[in-house]
Amino acid sequence: MRIDERSAGFFAIGRALVTRRPVAVIVTSGSAATELHAAVAEADLANVALLVITADRPPELHGVGAPQTIEQRELYGRKVRRFEEPGIARLEASSSWRALASRLWMSAVGESASAGPVHLNAAFSEPLLGVALELPDARIDRGAWRSFGGGGAEVANLAVTGQRVLAVVGQGVDQEVIEACRDLDWVVLGDATAQGTTPYFDPLLRSDDFAKMARPDIVVRLGGLPASKVLATRLREWSVRTVALLGAGAVADPDGLISEDFTGLPRRGVHELSADKEYALMWSRASTSVGDHLDGVTNDESGLDEPLVARTVVEVSTDLQVPLVIGSSMPFRDVEWWAPSRQSATYANRGTNGIDGVVSTVLGVSVAGRGIGLVGDLTMLHDVSGLVDGLGEIGGTCVLVVADNRGGGIFSFLPQASALESERFERLFGTPRLHDLAAIAKAFGHCAEVASTRAQLRSAIERGLSRDGLSVVVATVPERDENVRIHDAMVQSVVTRDGGIRW
Ligand SMILES: Cc1ncc(C[n+]2csc(CCOP(=O)(O)OP(=O)(O)O)c2C)c(N)n1
C-alpha cells in the first residue's frame, strides 16, 4: 500500500528489476491513474514488465461530473505493449478473465516484442463490494518466456577468433552473459549497472594514445547505452565493424553504428568466438593501474568528494553483497567512470534517465531484503514523497546515500556554466534547494546521519544495513564548481597533457 501512486509506479519497477517477473500496480481512477505515467514511460523504454491496472467508473458516470473520472482509454498511448478494456466487471463474464490475464501477462513478458508495461482499465459499478472467487480452470497454455530478438545469424557465425573484440554493455544484460564474454577474452566495457566489466574506461579513453592502442577489430553491442560521451566518440572515430547481439535484449544504437544483427549469446569455449588475449591483457593492466592509483591517493580519513562517494558505495555493496540502485545524473556517471567493477546486483532507471521516482525504486529493490541507493540531493527531493511510506508494511533494510552538492551538479560540466552570468546559471541550472535532508528524513520517522569522510560514510552505511527500515546518509561533498575541478584533476592524474597515459 502506498499513498502516492507516482511513487508506487517506481516502487513496482524496483520489484520487477529484482524479481525479473511482471509486477502488478493497482490504482483507483482519475488523476491517480495519470500519476503512473512517468513509471510507464520508464518501464516502456527500460523493457520492465509492469501490469498496470487502473480502476474506472462505469460508462454512465463519464462526462457527467462524477469525481475522479477522466478518459482512461489508452491513457498511456503507445507506451504500453497492450491495452485491454473488458468493460464493467460482471460475474457472468468471469470465464473470460483468465484469458484476459494471460494476454496481458504474455505481452508484458515480451511474447512478441520486448518486455514492458501493459494496461488493464477495469470499470466497476456500484456496489463496489465483491467476493473473491476462484479463477476458472486454466485452459490457455502460458507458453514459454521468449527473449526479444530480431533477425540475424547465430552468434557463433561472428567468427572473431584471435581478433580484438570490444563488447559495450548497457542496462539489461545479465552478469552471466558478461562473464561468458570475458571468458572469451572479449574486453567488456559496461554502464554503471553492468557487473564484472572493465572499470575506468572513461578516463583511459580520454587519452588519444590509449584510444589508438585500444582500437578494436570489432565492437559487439549488448543492451542499453553507457553514459560516457568519450566512449561514444571513440566508437564513432574508430569506425570498426559494429554488431548487435540481440540475445541479451534490445540494443540501443542512437549513432547508427550497428551494421549487423546476431542472435543468441556468447558461450565460453567456442573457438569461433575466442578473441585476442593480449588485447584483453592490455586493457586489464591499464584499468588496474588507474584503480591502484585511485586507491593510493585516498585513505579512510579522506574528505568525501562525489567520485569517492561512488567508489565507497560500490565497495560496501561488493563487500557485503548488497544490491545497489544508482540514481541518474552524476551518481550514474561517477559509478561508471570512477568506481571499481560492480560485484553485486546493480540497477538504475535507464529507460528515460529521469530523476523522478528513484527513491521509490531504491525502496522497491530493498523491500523484504536489503539495498543501497546512491542519488543526488535534487533526486531525493524530487521523490521525497517516497519517504512517506518508506519500506511500508513489508519492511526490509535500505540505506539511501545522498551526495549533497546542493543543487544539480551535472550542469556545472556544461558550457552554459561559464557562458551564463553565475546568478542566472544558478537559478536556471544549478537550482539549489537548501533543505536539511537529514531533518527531512527524520521528519518522516527514518534514521539519518551525515558523513564527511570515507570512514564515516562506510560506517554509516554499515550501521544502516545492520538495522531494519530506511536510513538516509547525507554525504557532505564539495560545492558544484569544485566538483568539476576535482573531476578534471582526476582525469589529469590518468591522462597527460599531450594525450598520453601516465602508465
Ligand atoms: C524527471 C526529470 N526532470 C528533470 C531532469 C533533468 N535533470 C537531469 S540531472 C538533473 C539534476 C539532478 O540533480 P541531483 O539529483 O542533485 O544530482 P547531481 O546532478 O548533483 O548529480 C536534472 C534536473 C530529469 N532527468 N528527470
Least confident of 79-83, 277-281, 414-418, 463-467: 414-418
Pair 99, 242 in one domain: no
Q: What is the rounded average pLDDT of the residues 280-300?
A: 97
Q: Are 66 and 93 within 8 A, CB to CB? A: no
Rounded to the nearest angstrom, the distance between the alpha carbon of 229 and the centre of ligand 1 is 17
Q: Which residue has the higher pLDDT, 93 or 192?
A: 192
Nearby residues of 236 by Cβ (< 8 Å), 6 or more positions away: 255, 257
Output the domain CATH number for residue 108. Answer: 3.40.50.970
**Closest residue (by CA) to atom 11 of ligand 1?**
408
Pair 317, 414 in one domain: yes
Query: Edge-to-edge strand order for the sheet containing 23-27?
Result: 23-27, 50-56, 117-123, 83-84
Domain boundary among 288, 318, 333: 288
Rounded to the nearest angstrom, the distance between the alpha carbon of 328 and the centre of ligand 1 is 7
* Cell numbers at 263, concatenated: 542472435
Domain boundary among 240, 259, 288: 288
Cα 8 to Cα 27: distance, rounded to the nearest angstrom: 9
Domain boundary among 264, 288, 312: 288
Cα 91 to Cα 426: distance, rounded to the nearest angstrom: 59
Pair 320, 444 in one domain: yes
Q: Decide if 81 is inside a domain.
A: yes
What is the predicted pLDDT for the residue at 83?
98
Pair 363, 271 in one domain: no
To the nearest whole percent, how much of the chain has pLDDT over 70?
97
Tell whether the model's pLDDT for residue 139 goes beyond 80.
no
Pair 372, 394 in one domain: yes
Pair 422, 344 in one domain: yes
pLDDT band at 146 (very low <50, low <70, confident <90, very high): very low
pLDDT digits over 98-110, tens only?
Answer: 889 999 999 999 8
Q: Decide if 138 is inside a domain.
A: no
Cα 441 to Cα 437: distance, rounded to the nearest angstrom: 6
Q: Are 372 and 461 within 8 A, CB to CB? A: yes
pLDDT digits over 45-58, tens only?
Answer: 999 999 999 999 99
What is the predicted pLDDT for the residue at 142?
38
Cα 21 to Cα 12: distance, rounded to the nearest angstrom: 11
137: phi then psi, degrees, rounded to nearest 5: -55, 150
Q: How far, rounded to the nearest angstrom, does the alpha carbon of residue 476 sit from its chain's CA centroid?
A: 24
Give the DSSP letter of residue 222: E
Pair 408, 450 in one domain: yes
Single-letter amino acid, residue 305: D
Which region, left, alpha or beta, applies to residue 469 given φ > 0 means left and ψ of -120 to 50 means alpha?
A: left
Tell whether the model's pLDDT for residue 144 goes beyond 50.
no
**Closest residue (by CA) to atom 8 of ligand 1?**
329
Pair 109, 193 in one domain: no
Burial 390-426 (b: 16+ CB within 10 A, else e): bbbeeebbbbbbbbbbbbbbbbbeeeebeeeeeeebb
Q: What is the rounded average pLDDT of the residues 476-493?
A: 97
Question: For ligand 1, what atom is nearest to the CA of residue 410?
Answer: 19
Give the DSSP letter of residue 446: -
pLDDT digits over 351-397, tens only?
Answer: 999 999 999 999 999 999 999 999 999 999 999 999 999 999 999 99
Pair 250, 386 in one domain: no
User: Which domain does 369 fall in, by range?
Assistant: 301-492
Q: Decide if 132 is inside a domain.
A: no
Q: Decide if 141 is inside a domain.
A: no
Q: What is the rounded average pLDDT of the residues 437-453?
A: 98
pLDDT digits over 316-348, tens only?
Answer: 999 999 999 999 999 999 999 999 999 999 999
Cβ < 6 A, ligand 1 pocket? 328-331, 353-356, 376-379, 405, 408-410
* Cell numbers at 181, concatenated: 564474454
Q: Decide if 502 is inside a domain.
A: no
E strand map for 182-259: 187-190, 218-222, 241-245
To the nearest whole percent, how much of the chain has pLDDT over 90?
85
Pair 370, 228 in one domain: no
User: What is the rounded average pLDDT for all residues in the chain?
Assistant: 94
Which H helix or E strand runs over 120? strand 117-123
Cα 74 to Cα 89: distance, rounded to the nearest angstrom: 18
pLDDT band at 151 (very low <50, low <70, confident <90, very high): low
Output the domain CATH number for residue 181. Answer: 3.40.50.1220
Q: Decide if 501 is inside a domain.
A: no
Cα 206 to Cα 234: distance, rounded to the nearest angstrom: 9
In the chain, the number of structural domains is 3
Q: Which residues pair with 25 in a beta bridge?
A: 52
Q: Decide if 263 is inside a domain.
A: yes
Pair 81, 178 in one domain: no
Q: What is the rounded average pLDDT of the residues 187-207?
A: 98
Rounded to the nearest angstrom, the distance between the alpha carbon of 155 and the centre of ligand 1 is 38
Q: How far, rounded to the nearest angstrom, does the alpha carbon of residue 500 sit from its chain's CA centroid?
A: 33
CA neighbours within 13 Å on the CB side: how many for 487? 26
Q: Decide if 137 is inside a domain.
A: no
Pair 162, 184 in one domain: yes
pLDDT digits over 13-31, tens only?
Answer: 999 999 999 999 999 999 9
Mutation choice for ligand 1 from 378, 385, 477, 484, CB with most ligand atoms inside 8 A: 378
